[in-house]
Structure 1
Amino acid sequence: MKEFTLKQQGKIKRLTNETFKFDERVGEGWFSAVYFLKTKKIVEEHLSENIVTMQFFQKKNDAVLCGTDEAIALLHTFADHPEDLEIHSLQDGDKVSPYESVLTVTGPYQNFGYLEGIIDGILSRRTSVATNVYKVVKAAKSNGSDKPVIFMGDRDDHYTQQAGDGYAAYIGGSTAQATHAMNEWWGKQGMGTMPHALIQMFKGDIVKTAYAYKETFPDDDLIALVDYNNDVITDSLRVAREFGNELQGVRIDTSKNMVDQYFFRNPQIMGSFDPRGVNPELVFALRDALDQEGYHHVKIMASGGFNEEKIQRFESMGVPVDMYGVGNNLLKINIGFTGDNVKLNNEDEAKEGRRFNYNPRLEKVDYPVNQD
């Protein structure tokens, strides 16, 4: 199986300073831990000639690195005399190992040291999201298929983080994002069809909703959300019979606390599985119902509570899902980065248990960032 990361799409062009919208208060130390600010002042007054090397690493296996361009842009924007810093970095999309150095910065501590915690936070969040998405995408392809994963994290994310998290999801392999902001850094637009709110205003009539959608957005693929009435097979067939080949797909988003009406109509199949939410038996039944009436072309999108484990289970069972929508499970921050000073005036000097980890994969980053 070909594992996806952005590295496999071809040469990466690093994001530039112009990509990011930094808060100007970063340069005032507003977002830095106070002990870093105090250290900066002490060093300025007592040790201003010292040159340090700071390296950044994480401790998880199979992490997909993200946030390096953002961290470098931060340094180039807010460090004093950034042109004098020596920066080496891996690239967004690289797979990294535990304790592997992903970024090193060499220069006078007082010029950049107070940015350490912010860089840790950037790398931790972006790499966590990219790695989460990568694992979900890998699970969706575990059955030998090429099923897209849609990043639907808008309602679980703070709006100020959407651009960076959307980019991290893209680095991890997500093919589309829910909002325009999530696509801002990589030049696409958001993707979406209809929410439950639209169906509600048509009093639960999925056919009327679909007609209004098609009339308003005639160039869009018509994908109907079919769980509003908790009867996905009935509503899927209703809209399929009405639109035929114009219907490209249906999306199931049944709440994990709900049991679809299909199971109450067929109580004889109950008892051997959990019938709540979007479950394999419901998707199999939906696929069979569509195929029996000749709607083989209608794809099934499943969303609601999906994570790596649930997708792996669906794929191992051969559940006929054509694409997955995943939200809050992709936003969990489970990879932390650490920045350590490991060299002082080009000699090894670090706290006990830490040392300079030479990494031949690191690439020198020039100032200004090459924008060609």
Structure 2
Amino acid sequence: MKEIEQKLSGEIERLTNRTFKFDERIKEGWFSAVYFLKTKEMAEKKLPDNYITMQFFQKTHEAVLCGTDEAIALVHAFADEPHTLEIHSLKDGDKIKPFESVLTISGAYQQFGFLEGIIDGILARRTSVATNVYNVVKAARTSGQQKPIIFMGDRDDHYTQQAGDGYAAFIGGSTAQATHAMNEWWGKQGMGTMPHAMIQMFRGDVVAASQAYLEMYPEDELVTLVDYNNDVITDSLKVARACGNSLRGVRVDTSRTLVDKYFLRNHHLMGTFDPRGVNPELIFALRKALDDEGFEHVKIVVSGGFNEERIRYFEQRGVPVDMYGAGGSLLKINIGFTGDNVLLNGIPEAKKGRRYRPNPRLEVVQYSEQTVDYT
């Protein structure tokens, strides 16, 4: 857990020379709305000398921008004569406001216009994930201490999204990811210890599973999943006694439909709070039980339905959590981008309600041949 617990930087360095994996059918317009393809054809035949500026922005949120490097790589890979285009862009990780221009592309429409919808989609998904993660990370930062967030979104969306989502989560502030694919664009590897399936193989014997893990992966820091038998405190103490200093943490992932056996043994606690799932009272009791037996070094990781609101509630109550695992809540797409043509041959020309919005924060993007893989 040492790498996971490293202090998160407030600034995100722009990562360059990554390999973006694009489908080669993009060049054929396979993923572009048909009306963009018709406009491209019309521009080629009727208005070949047009020169337009396309501007991208979102209208609803203060957000953490992500997807600009990917969008620029897309343009460089599939636009016609991309070296002749003029591109200005903010960076991944920049904070943005509603209606702020984040990317402009200038050139002949037929060179790149058919990519508009794809660029919108890239910016929408990446920015949504980065912003969701940023808000969760911020919720888990109290008293000057940043509690790590592990991004566990592999089971909540299609596997082909993992690399981009993992990178967006990194931009948002998560430095721990569940799969290798999630780490592909920022040069790390996936992390994790055991799922419930591993304990099931040992017929629910959490100690046996933990000891086998230590034997198989002696270089790993053992974090044992302790809710398999719905008796978190009992199983945590069993593993701690058996593994001693080799146990670095326990993870609690109790279903929201269950009440841990600890509360069934302590009926006097019932009736004043919701005892289901991973709740503050259970974690307070777990921390006390571990500390009382001298296992202060054992960290507590919680997962299962955690989002910004729930993490903020835990932190406000001072619940002794050392790390949060979050997944599905971080993948909600709630920020949409729009690409508008706003200049025609250097003269303002846009649909009513839209206009060219110069942004002094935009930086010139020099053409370079990005490394691109085709799927």
TM-score relative to the length of structure 1: 0.96
What is the distance in 1 between the residues matched to 2:165 and 2:171?
10
Kindly state the Cα deviation for residue 13 of structure 1 after the two structures are TM-superposed. 3.6
1:143·1:318 contact (CA, 8 Å) conserved in 2? no
Change (3 A) 1:5 1:245: closer
**Where do residues 46-61 of structure 1 align in structure 2 (5 Å cutoff)?**
46-61=46-61
What is the distance in 1 between the residues matched to 2:241 and 2:59?
53
2:284·2:320 contact (CA, 8 Å) conserved in 1? yes
Kindly state the Cα deviation for residue 12 of structure 1 after the two structures are TM-superposed. 2.2
Give the match for residue 12 of structure 1.
Answer: 14
DSSP-derived class of the 2:241 partner = helix
**Where do residues 224-243 of structure 1 align in structure 2 (5 Å cutoff)?**
224-243=224-243
Give the match for residue 252 of structure 2.
Answer: 252
Give the match for residue 149 of structure 2.
Answer: 149
TM-score relative to the length of structure 2: 0.95
DSSP-derived class of the 1:21 partner = strand
1:143·1:315 contact (CA, 8 Å) conserved in 2? no
1:74 is aligned with what amino acid?
L
**Alignment deviations for residues 50-104 of structure 1 (CA, whole Å, 9 cap, x no partner):** 1000000012332000000000000000000101100000000000000000000
Give the match for residue 297 of structure 1.
Answer: 297
DSSP-derived class of the 1:282 partner = helix
Give the match for residue 162 of structure 2.
Answer: 162
Q: Does 1:214 align with 2:214?
A: yes
2:11 is aligned with what amino acid?
Q
Kindly state the Cα deviation for residue 229 of structure 1 after the two structures are TM-superposed. 0.2
**Where do residues 104-183 of structure 1 align in structure 2 (5 Å cutoff)?**
104-183=104-183
Q: Does 1:310 align with 2:310?
A: yes
2:29·2:114 contact (CA, 8 Å) conserved in 1? yes
What is the distance in 1 between the residues matched to 2:95 and 2:142?
19
Q: Does 1:191 align with 2:165?
A: no
2:76·2:370 contact (CA, 8 Å) conserved in 1? no
What is the distance in 2 between the residues matched to 1:272 and 1:13?
50
DSSP-derived class of the 2:145 partner = coil
What is the distance in 1 between the residues matched to 2:72 and 2:164?
14
Give the match for residue 69 of structure 2.
Answer: 69
1:142·1:312 contact (CA, 8 Å) conserved in 2? no
1:94 is aligned with what amino acid?
D
2:93 is aligned with what amino acid?
G
DSSP-derived class of the 1:276 partner = coil
**Alignment deviations for residues 261-291 of structure 1 (CA, whole Å, 9 cap, x no partner):** 1110011111111111100000000001101
What is the distance in 2 between the residues matched to 1:19 and 1:100?
28
DSSP-derived class of the 2:335 partner = coil
1:53·1:342 contact (CA, 8 Å) conserved in 2? yes
**Where do residues 346-365 of structure 1 align in structure 2 (5 Å cutoff)?**
346-365=346-365
What is the distance in 2 between the residues matched to 1:329 and 1:254?
17
What is the distance in 2 between the residues matched to 1:330 and 1:79?
32
DSSP-derived class of the 1:8 partner = coil
What is the distance in 2 between the residues matched to 1:13 and 1:240?
41
Give the match for residue 3 of structure 2.
Answer: none
How many aligned residue pairs are there?
365
What is the distance in 1 between the residues matched to 2:45 and 2:292?
80
Kindly state the Cα deviation for residue 106 of structure 1 after the two structures are TM-superposed. 0.2
What is the distance in 1 between the residues matched to 2:10 and 2:161?
23
DSSP-derived class of the 2:142 partner = coil
What is the distance in 1 between the residues matched to 2:93 and 2:22?
22
DSSP-derived class of the 2:353 partner = coil
What is the distance in 2 between the residues matched to 1:285 and 1:263?
10
What is the distance in 2 between the residues matched to 1:334 and 1:5?
25
What is the distance in 2 between the residues matched to 1:62 and 1:312?
19
1:58 is aligned with what amino acid?
Q
Give the match for residue 91 of structure 1.
Answer: 91
DSSP-derived class of the 2:21 partner = coil
Q: What stretches of structure 1 move > 4 A for 4+ residues in a row?
A: 4-7
1:6·1:93 contact (CA, 8 Å) conserved in 2? no
What is the distance in 1 between the residues matched to 2:143 and 2:158?
34
What is the distance in 2 between the residues matched to 1:27 and 1:321?
48
Q: Does 1:280 align with 2:283?
A: no
Kindly state the Cα deviation for residue 245 of structure 1 after the two structures are TM-superposed. 1.1
